[in-house]
Structure 1
Amino acid sequence: MTVKGRRQEYVEATRAALLDSASELFTEKGFAQTSLDEVAAAARLTKGALYHHFANKQALFEQVLATVNDRIAQTVIEAGAGTDEPWARLTRGLDAFLDACLDREYQRICLRQAPAVLGWERCRELEAGMMGLLDAMLRELAVAGRSRLQPSPLLTRVLFRMLSEAAMVIGEAEDPGAARAEVGVLVEELLHSVHGGNAGVLPSS
């Protein structure tokens, strides 16, 4: 391995350690109560090393948020990867998303803290990947002749906001598991307004 290769590995490992430490602290203590000194110490790095990668705490939080969102998106993709049937791909993906809403890291960072730390406009920009994933699933459904509604940015946005609100309901519930089950049934029923054939069942657990 070249010196450049080893250096790149070190840079990537350093960044990953900082993101892991920040994610854990933001989840447990919250953004306001977490200091950059704590993040650096938890990663066993200097504060200077942290500033080499992130300009400030908000920039660090934004990257943590993006990392969590990417992880959820990958979970959704993997959930639908085992089938070629568009409706099954959509329902399995949404089921995986609703399950992810039970994850404490996702609840605390993405649902509760992100709007206050970054503002709704920036949060929406960072949701573009997830919204694009939903749009692709809806278009795939239409191409297969399995959609009653014509795919459009409006349809994607409305359904995505519905799912975002469902995620908030799960995250804020006293019994998240029960809320997840109830939301799963509701989402299944609402998806029937889009489906153009014999819809499958969206699991609720």
Structure 2
Amino acid sequence: MARNTREGTEATRLALISAARRLFVEQGYAETATPDIVAAAGVTRGALYHHFEDKKALFSAVVEQEAMAVASDIDRGAAPAAKPREALMSGASAYFAAMAVEGRARLMLLEAPAVLGVERTAEIDRDNAEDRLLEGVSDCLGAAASADEIRALANLLSAAFDRAVLEIERGGDPDLYKAAIARLIDGLIPRSR
């Protein structure tokens, strides 16, 4: 019986996250009310508050799930490469593909910093995909680069990737932005690598 209770508890939690994600994408965080979430999930209000302290905590769980999905998509989508620059570009392409999932850019790049704050949003990123970019930049720069230099460049590239995703979301040509990212990387990282 305990296993069924655990499975039911997890199913309820996942139903809440799924329903909340859909509503946050459709309506935005501010316009989504908790009664709408529980109705869409088919659970009681008590179930919501059993799993999450409040709507913000539920939103955080949605963003965390999205960040894990992005990291997983990058791991699956980035092709093995012989050269560090190629690996970094492959990872960038995988990131663009992962962020093309309906509503993901809005949730992670617009709503999350506004609702959770920049620091909490950065923490979620650090807990999920940031290490992949740091590793790629480190491989490209080589052993002579300091940890601070690697982190600074990774932060700047991450911001550029995010801005490109937002522009693509607004209707920009993905190939144009991929080419721009390649030029940016080539300008920052020695070609010999």
Interval containing the TM-score (normalised by the shorter chain): 0.7 to 0.9
Corresponding residue for residue 171 of structure 1 = 166
Whichever residue aligns with residue 160 of structure 1, its letter is N
> Cα deviation per residue 1:158-200 (whole Å; 9 max; x = unaligned)?
333333343234324575341x2222111112222325536xx
> What per-residue deviation string (whole Å, max 9, x for no partner) do you get for residues 68-95 of structure 1?
1110111111122x52635343221110
Given that residues 16 and 41 in structure 2 are in contact (C-alpha distance below 8 angstroms), is that contact kept between their aligned partners in structure 1?
Answer: yes
| Counterpart Cα distance in 1 of 2:148 and 2:7 | 40
Identity %: 27
Counterpart of 1:127 in structure 2 is 125
| Deviations, residues 98-138 of structure 1 (Å, cap 9, x unaligned) | 22333332121111111111111211111113222211233
Partner in structure 1 of residue 73 of structure 2: 75
Structure 2 partner of 1:136: 135
Distance across 1 between alignment mates of 2:164 and 2:117:
20
1:148 is displaced (CA, Å) by 8.4
Q: Equivalent residue for 2:93?
A: 95
Give me the whole-angstrom Cα distance separating, in 2, the residues matched to 1:59 and 1:174. 26
Per the normalisation by structure 1, the TM-score is 0.81
Greater helix content = 2
Query: What amino acid is the match of 1:106?
Result: R
Q: Which runs of 5+ in 2 are unaligned?
A: none
Q: Which residue identity lines up with residue 48 of structure 1 in the other structure?
A: G
**1:57 and 1:150 mapped to 2: Cα distance?**
43
Which amino acid counterpart does residue 155 of structure 1 have in structure 2? I
Where structure 1 has 5 or more consecutive residues not aligned to the other structure, the ranges are: 199-205
- Do structure 1's residue 23 and structure 2's residue 17 form an aligned pair? no
2:103 maps to 105
Task: State how far apart, in whole Å, the 2-side matches of 1:94 and 1:84 are.
Answer: 13
